[in-house]
Amino acid sequence: MGSIVMEPGDNSIFNNFSSICVHVDRIHSNSVFIGENPLEFSVPLLLLQLGICSGTIIFLFQLLKRLAQPLIVSQILSGLVLGYFGAGFLEKFRETIFPIRGLIFLDAISALGQVFYFFLIGVQTDMSIIKNIDKRAFGIGVCSVILPTILSNLYTVTLVNTVDLDTIKTLFVVGNAECFIHFAMVASLLNELHLINSKFGKIALASSMSSNCFGLFFQKIGMLLANERKVRLHALSTVYGFIVLAVIILSFQPVILWMTKNSPVGQPLKESFVITLFLGVLVVAFCSQASGMHIYFGPILLGITIPPGPPIGSAMVEKLDIIASWVLMPIFFAKIGLIFSIHTIKLLNFLCISFIIIVAAFGKFLGALMMSIYYKLPTRDGVALGLILNSQGALEIGIFKLMTKDKVLDEETFVVMCLCVMLVAAVITPILRYLFDPSRRFVVEKKRTVMHLRPEFDLSVLVCIHDQDDVPSAINILEALKPMHRNHLIVYMLHLVVLLGRANPQLIHHRITKLRTSSRSYASESIVNAFNYFGQSNSDVVTIHPFTAVSPSTTMYEDVCSLALDKRTSLILIPFHKRFHSNGMMSLSKYKMKMLNQHILDKAPCSVALIVERGIVKISRSISTNLYSFQIAIVFIGGPDDREAIFIGTRMIGHPYVNVTLIRLLEDTNSPSDGGKEMKLNNEAVSKYHRLMENNHRVRYLEEVAKDCTGTVAILRSLENNFDLIMVGRRHSPRSPLVQGLLLWNEQTELGSLGEVLASSDFIGNATIVVVQQHRKVVNEDPETSKR
């Protein structure tokens, strides 16, 4: 029984078997306890192979992640470990785990994995980025293709005329193949490096897309103009097959549009729609091979035509990503490892092929660097662009293998090219991490805090929203911060949406870009409308700028920090990753939101306030419609964060429906203090608050004395139902007896010691907790009392 998906090289490795016999009655094992060996049956053997291949990649990925290595290195290395270069060199292991009779099932699983993997690449390729290609991106992309093509062909001609090689026919193919740049692999590495949201990432995406389109166009033109009849026929058959596939895929378009129209916003895609699309992938894969094209061509084309993002694109990625990338694709890399015969490669051939690849890589690097300098980009960005455009991955390896199947490349050349993919990725990725750290650009020259902002200046606030439940508390705080005269409150509302189903992130400004059908799936209109209504109701003193950021959860903090940096905000409001009921029971916890908050706290270019919601904020408790005063408490122990909380509170004093109470906790012992400077700064902040109390019955000041952390907890619990909002600083001196014991109980570092007590299950009440962190990271540290 033969396998039509098995590559020619696979058979040659296993002693050139032309057929493989499989017993039809040895599929499922009965039991090991009755003396049967489960590895002699097809299904248990396949399950073990899947587990070993996936486990090897995961283990190597976790091991090499400490060395700043990308996923593709772990994938290729896992194939080497399981193949002839590693455990597969042991005949007993190879015959037991990867016997010849199991190759048919491996071939089928590997092909199925590649079908869905290439489909996902198509889904995540957002062709709309072509509209963002400007003159600079086009110049970088085109030069990164033309220059390596010229250099590699010149070097190959020189090599052919000076060295007698067995692989002369494939050398020109190697050079041209290595000059090709694939947008999907560049986007994948950018996402893995957490650079996709940066300005550099957007330039790299646009440049790689322009080079991809340019290279593909001239590749097909070259094939049609080729002298060899076989090459021209192959190009024509590709065109005919493309026409057939286009007709089939266009017939899917009305169905896809109907699915999009009948999918409620914010709701998961219906299972019937998902199944229909899965069947569509299999149908176009069958049509691809039946039309004489590669089996993966149809799925990637179908993926490109699917609208990116929710509801369809994100649903496809969510359903298929793990199973395709981490369960099925490892078989593909294991098979490559099984056909790797490194010990049979001639040294001269290896060196010559490797040098051609190096020349092509150098040409890409030089072309991108030269054009970057011409367009006056920073030198570091030019170097990074030259490196990132050399990124390759599973897509290139799949293409190399298809070229080997078509006998365009020989097996020896294929092995060398795969090894070079791994080596190039292993070299450029650590250099990119070292060269380009996006967090460095969030360091500013002056402190951006509410404390250092003069009272007569406008206050700019960035409000982060995940869903509609975050809106009431955020608007309540903005209502309290709303000035009554002189200055303005400028609000930048950022709705954060996780990127799924597309390769490039988006930042949508709803005042500039009208919401299209696709963007309506991202932006909750009710969220935007709520903030717009708040702005229109206070149009004389409040300005609202609503945004939607669509980006991966791992790099979402980039959008937050970039917007805060560009708009020169003094404060960022972010919701806590946990939500609590009034009885202290937790109703929601999101790990990705927790990591996002941690990144924002670490890298934000201004002060940050975490909002902890306890219970549902009722409309009757909102400030704007309240018939009684909104009670706000500020708990002050000392330190920069507590001082920032005081100055945020002073911005709220002007509101006619807001009562502000400053509660200062003092030690009743002679414990050593933080020092004279800190005490002086604390007293100055309190003195400024005292000056605002004059002739203002809505402002109060209380002093509470505590001996240790037990007294601090007792004072905090006394605030339970007396206030609507409680504000505390995040960080305090660990030497203070008032917080020393609390630090031992602190499980969530985002909230600090006091915030954790107020958010714990022991604290009963509906008060919203606001935990403040003052901005400190500056290039040139200014004095604490400086104003900007």
The confidence score (pLDDT) of residue 1 equals 39
Main-chain dihedrals φ then ψ at residue 489, nearest 5 degrees: -105, 115
3-class SS of residue 550:
strand
Q: Give the pLDDT mean for 106-132.
A: 81
pLDDT of residue 645: 93
Question: DSSP string spanning 324-391?
Answer: IIIIIHHHHHHHHHHH--GGGS-HHHHHHHHHHHHHHHHHHHHHHHHHHHHTT--HHHHHHHHHHTT-
pLDDT of residue 788: 41
Query: Best-predicted range by mean pLDDT among 200-209, 263-272, 633-642?
Result: 633-642
State percent of the chain over pLDDT 90. 19
Highest mean pLDDT among 257-261, 500-504, 681-685: 681-685
User: Cα dihedral sign for 210, 71, 197, 535?
Assistant: positive
Q: For residue 68, what are its two tokens? A: 């700043």
Length of the chain in residues, anyone?
788
Single-letter code of the amino acid located at 594: K
- Distance separating alpha carbons of residues 750 and 550, to the nearest angstrom: 24
143 three-class SS: helix
Token pair belonging to 468 = 């509609």
Q: What is the pLDDT of residues 540-559, one digit of tens each?
A: 889 999 998 888 888 888 88
pLDDT tens by residue, 696-754: 788 889 888 888 888 888 888 888 778 889 999 998 887 788 887 776 554 456 788 88
Q: What is the pLDDT of residue 223?
A: 59
Q: What is the pLDDT of residue 23?
A: 64
Q: What is the amino acid identity at position 70?
A: P
Give the separation between CA 376 and CA 394, rounded to whole angstroms.
33
Find out whether 759 and 614 touch, Cβ atoms under 8 Å: yes
Query: Is pLDDT larger for residue 485 or for residue 714?
Result: 714
Instruction: Decide if pLDDT at 519 tops 60.
Output: no
Neighbours of 531 (CB within 10 A): 24
Q: How far apart are CA 645 and CA 755, in angstroms?
A: 13
Count of CA atoms in the C-beta half-sphere (13 A) of 576: 28
Amino acid at 750: E
Name the nearest CA neighbour of 485 among 656, 627, 323: 656
Mean pLDDT of the chain, nearest integer: 80
Tell me how far CA of residue 628 lies from CA of 210, 624, 668, 669, 721, in angstroms.
61, 10, 36, 39, 15
DSSP 424-469: HHHHHHHHHHHH--GGGGG-BSS---STTS-TTSPEEEEEEESSGG
Can you tell me the distance from the alpha carbon of 551 to that of 572, in angstroms, rounded to the nearest whole number?
18
Q: State the angle between helix axes of 556-566 and 591-603 in degrees (0 to 180), rounded to the nearest 10.
A: 40
Pairing of the two strands 571-575 and 607-612: parallel
Which region, left, alpha or beta, applies to residue 505 given φ > 0 means left and ψ of -120 to 50 means alpha?
beta
Residue appearing with tokens 């509470």: 704
Tokens of 18: 């032309």
The predicted pLDDT at position 761 comes to 62
pLDDT band of residue 766 (cuts 50, 70, 90) is: confident
Least confident among 149-153, 273-277, 757-761: 757-761
Whether the Cβ atoms of residue 184 and residue 125 lie closer than 8 Å to each other: yes
Do the beta carbons of residue 282 and residue 290 sit within 8 Å? no
* Closest alpha carbon to 363 in 139, 141, 152: 152
pLDDT, greater one: 341 or 345: 345
pLDDT at 770: 93
Question: What is the mean pLDDT of the segment spanning 98-116?
Answer: 83
Task: Report the pLDDT averaged over residues 501-507.
Answer: 70
pLDDT at 388: 92
pLDDT in tens, 166-196: 666 788 888 888 988 888 788 888 878 877 7
What pLDDT sits at residue 20? 62
Per-residue pLDDT, averaged over 401-405, amounts to: 83
Q: Say if CB 701 and CB 687 are below 8 A apart.
A: no
The pLDDT score that the predictor gives to residue 517 is 40
Is residue 787 predicted with pLDDT exceeding 70?
no
Distance CA 401, CA 330 (A): 15
The contacts of residue 554 (CB under 8 Å, 6+ apart) are: 191, 194, 595
Condensed to tens digits (0 to 9), the pLDDT of residues 289-308 reads 777 667 777 888 888 788 76
Maximum Cα–Cα distance across the chain: 98
Mean pLDDT over 558-571 rounds to: 91
Q: What span, in angstroms and rounded, lies between the C-alpha atoms of 567 and 562?
A: 8
Indicate the SS3 state at residue 42: helix
Token pair in block for residue 345: 């490669």
Residue among 714, 709, 727 at smallest CA distance from 667: 709
- Count Cβ atoms below 10 Å from residue 37 Cβ, excluding itself: 11
